[in-house]
Copies of this chain bind each other. A is one copy, B any other.
Amino acid sequence: MTRLAEGSATASDLAARYSGVRTETARLCDPLEVEDFGLQSMVCCSPVKWHLAHTSWFFETFVLRAALPGYRSPDPHYAHLFNSYYESIGNGSGRIYPRAQRDLLSRPTVREVQAYRQAVDRAVLDLLADRVDPGLAAILELGIHHEQQHQELILTDLKHAFFCNPLAPVYSTAPASASEPRPVATAPHFLEHPGGLVFVGHEGRDFAFDNEGPSHRVFLEPFEVAAFPVTNHEYAEFIADGGYERPELWLSAGWAKVQSEGWSAPLYWRSRAHGWEEFTLGGWVTLDPGACVCHVSYYEAEAFARWARRRLPTEAEWETAAKTSPAAGTMLESRQFHPRAVTEVAFLGGVWNWTQSAYAPYPGYRPPAGALGEYNGKFMCSQMVLRGGSCVTPRSHIRTTYRNFFYPEDRWQFSGIRLAGDA
């Protein structure tokens, strides 16, 4: 949820941004066949169609039902089918539709879901034509950012599903791997910081999720953070040096995963006679040595850091460093759908950076009242914070204070590694 961004948005501003985001989501689906909309390759993934419907359900539930007492959904079942995890939202059948079975919802069809989106859009835009009370504006703002989160998830979930298909469908023939050969970074480059008492967390009237605040003081020892994320070339050296065979490099739980899952490289790598290949949204390509490694778990990031005699940054360190250099690298707007070789310092874009910080509430954090209090707070356990966004994050969605979070074994996000150290 968001702090109320009082007065900062006019109704027409909001309407324009709402329309823009909704259109962008639809545009992401242009390359898809109808059959692609229903794929769910892991329980933690959702079908594209479900993302399309769920984001609409979000506006319907928290905006339309709140503002329009007589509002009726196109289908009363949607309240049940497209609720993700809001236990506080009542529904006819008394429980949330099982996440693992989202791929069984062949109906509503893609066309029906698109009609659902349009019905919601009409109602929202009608509403915005009239008035914009601050509470409503705040929730709409939240819904827009929520939809952007799902834009990224549409791509990450689709990538995994396509990867499972031996036909290796191509989402986009954009020159994902066409970045010209470049010299592999020679020496790693670190940015030093003297530490001390710093402020961490979002402050001000712009939008931010509830979990980014309150802004608070943190004491840091002197530290350094890498100017660039770890490259594929560097990661391949880790592999070549027996990285996946040396238990002393791994957290205990990570080593257990290496063994039980047979991990020996990042999720989308495969070894061929001529070297490594990587699965991308443009299909299988030869690994670009200078590009950032991505699709590694926290365990792999942590093991790599140990091997490199460094460590991962804390989220406070990361944020402190990022504030000094808030440029953005490859993001969704590039329509590359893959990280490119990095040539200038940027903390935003490219790949998400695993931090060594467990996802926890900031001091003084209170989740909002009501169902929207479930947005972030109830996941503050057993997950690790990632920072910075990726090549499939919309530029307007990311901030240096933004906190993403996944389980330490998760690999299907565009997650990479930025090293840190004690200065």
Interfacial residues, chain A to chain B (CB-CB below 8 A): 33-39, 41, 49, 75, 77, 80-81, 85, 87-88, 93, 97, 101, 103-110, 161, 164-167, 169, 197, 216-221, 247-248, 250-255, 298-299, 302, 314, 356-358, 360-361, 363-364, 373-374, 378-382, 384, 408, 422
**Contact A408/B381 with A97-B166, A165-B107 known, Cβ cut-off 8 Å:** yes
Nearest residue, chain B, Cβ from A80 = B166
Check if A252 sits within 8 Å of B197, measured CB to CB: no
Check if A251 sits within 8 Å of B378, measured CB to CB: yes
A87-B248, A93-B166, A363-B422 known; 10 new pairs, CB 8 Å cut-off, are: A34-B109, A35-B38, A38-B106, A80-B166, A88-B247, A103-B103, A104-B165, A108-B167, A248-B373, A364-B422
**11 A-B pairs with C-beta separation under 8 A:** A35-B37, A35-B38, A35-B49, A81-B167, A93-B166, A104-B164, A105-B165, A221-B363, A252-B378, A252-B381, A358-B358
**CB within 8 A of A252: which of B39, B217, B379?**
B379
Q: Which residues of B contact A93 (CB under 8 A)?
A: 166
Nearest residue, chain B, Cβ from A33 = B109
**Contact A382/B216 with A107-B165, A109-B33, A166-B97 known, Cβ cut-off 8 Å:** no
Check if B161 sits within 8 Å of A87, measured CB to CB: no
Interchain residue pairs A-B with the least CB separation, the first 4: A358-B358, A87-B247, A35-B106, A252-B378
Smallest beta-carbon distance A112→chain B, Å: 9
Smallest beta-carbon distance A168→chain B, Å: 9
Interface of A is mostly: mixed
Check if B81 sits within 8 Å of A166, measured CB to CB: yes
**Contact A381/B106 with A34-B34, A360-B358 known, Cβ cut-off 8 Å:** no
Nearest residue, chain B, Cβ from A87 = B247
Docked complex Cα distance between A108 and B39 (Å): 13
Copies in the complex: 4
**CB within 8 A of A197: which of B105, B219, B422?**
B219
**Contact A85/B33 with A161-B106, A356-B361, A408-B382 known, Cβ cut-off 8 Å:** no
**Contact A101/B164 with A37-B35, A169-B107, A254-B381 known, Cβ cut-off 8 Å:** yes
**Contact A381/B104 with A356-B361, A363-B221 known, Cβ cut-off 8 Å:** no
Nearest residue, chain B, Cβ from A380 = B251
Docked complex Cα distance between A81 and B422 (Å): 39
Q: Which residues of B contact A110 (CB under 8 A)?
A: 34-35
Q: Which residues of B contact A101 (CB under 8 A)?
A: 41, 164
Check if B35 sits within 8 Å of A77, measured CB to CB: no
Smallest beta-carbon distance A86→chain B, Å: 10
Smallest beta-carbon distance A413→chain B, Å: 18
Residue of A75, A104, A110, A302 with most partner-chain B CB within 10 A: A104
**Contact A167/B219 with A34-B34, A104-B39 known, Cβ cut-off 8 Å:** no
Check if A87 sits within 8 Å of B255, measured CB to CB: yes
Residue of A87, A218, A373 with most partner-chain B CB within 10 A: A87
Q: Which residues of B contact A103 (CB under 8 A)?
A: 39, 103
Q: Which residues of B contact A105 (CB under 8 A)?
A: 165, 167
Q: Which residues of B contact A299 (CB under 8 A)?
A: 381
Nearest residue, chain B, Cβ from A200 = B219
Nearest residue, chain B, Cβ from A197 = B219
